Structure 1
Amino acid sequence: MDQKDKAAGMERRGLFGLGAMLGGAAALFAPKGAVAQTLGKSKLQVIKERGRLIVGTGSTNPPWHFEGADGKLQGMDIDLARLLAKSLFDDESKVEFVLQGSDARIPSLVTDKVDIVVQWMTVTPGRAQQVEFTIPYYREGVTLLLLARGAKYQNFEALKAAGNAVTIGGMQNVFLTEWVRKALPQAKVDAFESPDATLQALNARRVDAYMADQSAARWLMQQAPGRFVDAGYGWMPNSYASAVKPGDPVWLNWVNTVYKEAMMGVDFDTFAASYKKWFGIELATPKIGYPAEFS
């Protein structure tokens, strides 16, 4: 072996040694979730061994996740989380909820603080670079909420025909005017600091309609039957899905299986009951025979 070969061999051994040291340091300081994945365990196996599911969610946004009069969490997201726990342990109570703001959804996943986020999370290409989304469980959008009785305008066509005579209220954000004018190009726009303030303005007839998420509008109509009505036009569609940490196809596939069979199969009755309770939507029973998703 000449001097050049000897030098190359020493360099390889040196790099191997450095790699081993760095690998050892990384293993020492890595979070438990990362160690589990290094050992080849899926999150699914980790959760089963732990004996409970840890879910990131919120507590202030009905009908998705909020505290009832008894102080307990409820809502569509909470129902889905309990369905996952029931499917894991045959016990829907074996779930621990980590309450967090919307800005904590991705950080809590990538740091292994939670196993899954079930928190009305809109699917976007940007977020999909940081997390892996499940199949969607709701198609959201915005709509116009009207007073059912005594309102100047009774539906979307009347609002549009009125042009700049119409005032639309909504929660203050940088996109409010842009979103309203996608549907009503000539409408005036009035911004409020909260959904409650916007609703009060509608009740007092200071605005002609309230631009709200369709799910929120459905919830309000459920809570006050006969008081409010949907104007009959929805726009700005987006999909809600749960999210998991990237790199674990076993866990993602399992969650997707539970969600799909809730929407199409063995747990349809449970899923349909939640849709009826929170949105007032009667889901049609999936047809028997050839799977509709492949037709």
Structure 2
Amino acid sequence: MKRFYRLTLSILVVTSIVFLQGCGTSEQEKTTSKTGYRTLEEIKESGTIKIGVFSDKKPFGYVDDKGEYQGYDVYFAKRIAKDLLGDESAVEFVSVEPANRVEYLESGKVDIILANFTVTEERSEKVDFALPYMKVALGVVSKDGSITDVTQLEGQSLIVAKGTTAETYFQENYPEIELQKYDQYTEAFTALLDGRGVALSTDNTEVIAWAMENQGFGVGIESIGNIDTIAPAVQKGNTELLDWLNEEIKTLGNEEFFHKAYDETLLPVYGDAVDKENLVVESGEVK
């Protein structure tokens, strides 16, 4: 009787293991088969859209003294939420850093990236970009604007943020320039203030804004490299959301929304220092 009990128990254990392994495989296949992104319908059903923005890149994406997200990209994000979900407060802002923007899309942590995302061929292999809404080049800010030519950076330490076009540009075109890299923009600009590098490079729109708020610094190189475009991005293959975004950008272009966004968020910062027409892409196509 005892032998029969042990045999029955053994059979039950083996059967249970096989059953659980089968269930595990089924769940794994089920997980693998998922797209990894939320569809347009799923976003609508949830009532919230997750948009990645910067929290430390004033005036495009930053958190103010009250803990509220502000800036040009934030202004755009709220309009997306309003047009898609009927309420501009239906957006969940997710703070991102330059180097993790692609990862946040690939992992589904955000539905859209609006963090000053410059369109590049390398990034286009990993994410899908919508139509552009802004143009930008690189700039270089230094003490008193003393760095006016790239050759002055040879043998010096140039500060950049990881995962940015500035990092890529100088690595590919000026390998002799030492790059001092930081994860966050706040860390990078603090390093410049502390004198840990002779200059800092990022989007020219940002270095101009920063120099205007920090006495003793100037943008000696206002434009370097190509004139690139900035666009929203979605996870690779999320065609439905991408198509909706493209139509949204076209519609907003027709009503000159991005000019209004500039006037509301950037004009108070730049004044006459930046020509709006050189920055705004209103029609969804590069002018």
- Does the TM-score normalized on the shorter chain lie above 0.5? yes
Measure the CA separation in 2 of the matches of 1:85 and 1:190.
38
* Alignment of 1:170 onto 2:158: yes
Quickly say closer, same or farther: Cα 1:31–1:114, change in 2 above 3 A: farther
Task: Say which of 67, 73, 76 aligns to 2:69.
Answer: 73
1:276 corresponds to: 267
1:29 aligns with 2:30: yes
CA distance, structure 1, for counterparts of residue 96 and residue 134 of structure 2: 21
Residue 121 (structure 2) aligns with = 125
- Partners in 1 of 2:47 and 2:179 — Cα distance? 50
What amino acid sits opposite 1:138 in the alignment?
M
Q: CA deviation at 1:235?
A: 0.8
Q: Percent identity?
A: 22
**Runs (5+) with no aligned partner, structure 1:** 1-20, 286-290
- The structure 2 residue matched to 1:199, chosen from 193, 211, 217, is 193
Q: Residue 233 of structure 2: SS of its match in structure 1? A: strand
Q: Decide whether the 8 Å contact of 2:51 with 2:112 is kept in 1.
A: yes
Change in Cα spacing, 1:179 to 1:105, as seen in structure 2 (3 Å) is closer
Once the two structures are superposed, residues 7-49 of structure 1 have per-residue CA deviations (whole angstroms, 9 ceiling, x without a partner) of xxxxxxxxxxxxxx99x937973389639x9xxxx82222222
- Identify the match of residue 50 of structure 1 among 46, 49, 70: 46
Instruction: Give 5+ residue unaligned stretches, structure 2.
Output: 1-21, 183-187
The CA RMSD over aligned residues, in Å, is 4.5
1:9 aligns with: none
Q: Indicate the SS of the match to 2:108.
A: coil
Cα deviation code 1:165-222 (max 9, x no counterpart): 999663168987x839969x9x9979587322313549xxx95x65443122122244
Whole-Å separation in 1 of the counterparts to 2:172 and 2:119: 23
Q: SS at 1:34's partner residue?
A: coil
Partner of 2:247: 257
Kept in 2, the 8 Å contact 1:170–1:212? The answer is no
SS of the residue corresponding to residue 132 of structure 2 reads coil
User: Take 2:121 and 2:277, find their aligned partners in 1: how far apart are those partners?
Assistant: 31
Counterparts of 2:31 and 2:179 in 1: how far apart (Å)? 50
Instruction: Quote the offset at 1:53 in angstroms.
Output: 1.0
Shift of 1:244: 0.7
Residues 100-148 of structure 1 show CA distances to partners (whole Å, capped at 9, x for unaligned) of: 4444333332333321122222322222122101122333332233566
Residue type of the alignment partner of 1:171: I
Identify the match of residue 144 of structure 1 among 130, 140, 146: 140
Aligned length: 249
Q: What CA distance in whole angstroms lies between the structure 2 residues aligned with 1:283 and 1:164?
A: 30
1:236: Cα distance to partner?
2.4
Map 1:15-26; keep pairs closer than 5 Å. Answer: 25=26
**TM-score between the two structures when normalised by the length of structure 1:** 0.63
Indicate the residue corresponding to 1:234 in structure 2. Answer: 223
The residue identity in structure 2 corresponding to 1:34 is: T
SS at match of 1:234: strand
Give the counterpart letter for 2:129 in structure 1: F
Instruction: Tell me how far apart the structure 2 counterparts of residues 104 and 188 of structure 1 sit (CA, whole Å).
Output: 24
Q: 2: distance between equivalents of 1:190 and 1:52?
A: 39
Structure 1 residues 252 and 279: alpha-carbon distance in aligned structure 2, compared to 1, 3 A threshold: farther
The CA distance in 2 between the partners of 1:101 and 1:145, in whole Å, is 20
Structure 2 residue matching 1:30: 3-state secondary structure: helix
TM-score normalised by length of structure 2: 0.65
Residues 282 and 231 of structure 1: CA distance in aligned 2, closer, same or farther (over 3 Å): same
Q: What corresponds to 1:5 in structure 2?
A: none
